[in-house]
Copies of this chain bind each other. A is one copy, B any other.
């Protein structure tokens, strides 16, 4: 991803956190957060790394090492205080503040995303829904009205939008992306099956149904082949 391996630590003497969590760890923090929330809802006050690891579906050593990048929030012989750790992870991820999000492209998928309740619940606020199709502009989804994509720049400016979600057809994706970037959005979640080109300071993550299915198909085929070879060997 966007390398950011500069400045070891902001000010001198501030090396307990040593800014710079490995990407693989960052990707797992939200999973830990979810596991912690679920434990907390079940009124569990304390959990060991082994408990957390099973709840998150990972190896306990990995979990401990991941958490150690944030600081030393556990107690030896005891485990982790669920609510305290939950807060620390949330803070590290940046969920103690709210993030404004726009969705561009209100087709089937965009509509589903707009209705997704998990948005607001976890520190993400839908600032606007945009579409280039005049027929869709004005449609009301949830508590938002679909706006014209021409309003993009104003919406981003007025709501301090940092994250843009692209749910357009592939052909429109790069164009929308360019508009988002030039309006000042620096994080993009791309659902369109297209490769996006962006400046260095912009982060892009992609979600691609068809790629996921193809990866599964590869493994599925491989399993079938192996089975075939096994049977052939048995003859």
Give me the interface of A with B, judged by CB distance under 8 Å. 1-2, 4, 6-7, 10-11, 19, 26-27, 29-31, 33-35, 55-57, 92-95, 97, 99, 101, 108-109, 111-113, 115-116, 118-119, 122-124, 162-163, 186-189, 193, 195-197, 201, 203, 205, 207-223, 225-226, 229, 232
- Distance between Cα atoms of A11 and B232 in the complex (Å): 10
Tally of this chain's copies: 2
In the complex, are the beta carbons of B163 and A217 less than 8 A apart? yes
By a CB distance below 8 angstroms, the chain B residues around A115 are 108
Across the interface, A109 reaches (CB within 8 A) one of B55, B116, B221, namely: B116
- Distance between Cα atoms of A97 and B217 in the complex (Å): 10
In the complex, are the beta carbons of B201 and A223 less than 8 A apart? yes
- Closest residue on chain B to residue A167 by CB atoms: B112
In the complex, are the beta carbons of B94 and A218 less than 8 A apart? yes
In the complex, are the beta carbons of B57 and A195 less than 8 A apart? yes
In the complex, are the beta carbons of A214 and B30 less than 8 A apart? yes
By a CB distance below 8 angstroms, the chain B residues around A213 are 99, 101, 119, 122, 124, 163, 189
CB<8 Å pairs between A and B, sample of 7: A30-B211, A92-B218, A94-B217, A108-B116, A189-B213, A189-B216, A205-B216
Q: Given that A6-B226, A10-B229, A95-B214 are contacting pairs, would A116 and B209 also be in contact in the complex, using a CB cutoff of 8 Å?
A: yes
The listed residue with most B CB atoms (<10 A of its CB), out of A19, A99, A124, A214, is A214
- Distance between Cα atoms of A31 and B99 in the complex (Å): 30
Q: Given that A30-B211, A210-B30 are contacting pairs, would A219 and B124 also be in contact in the complex, using a CB cutoff of 8 Å?
A: no
By a CB distance below 8 angstroms, the chain B residues around A218 are 26, 29, 92-94
In the assembled complex, the CB of A37 is this many whole angstroms from the nearest CB of chain B, namely 11
By a CB distance below 8 angstroms, the chain B residues around A1 are 219
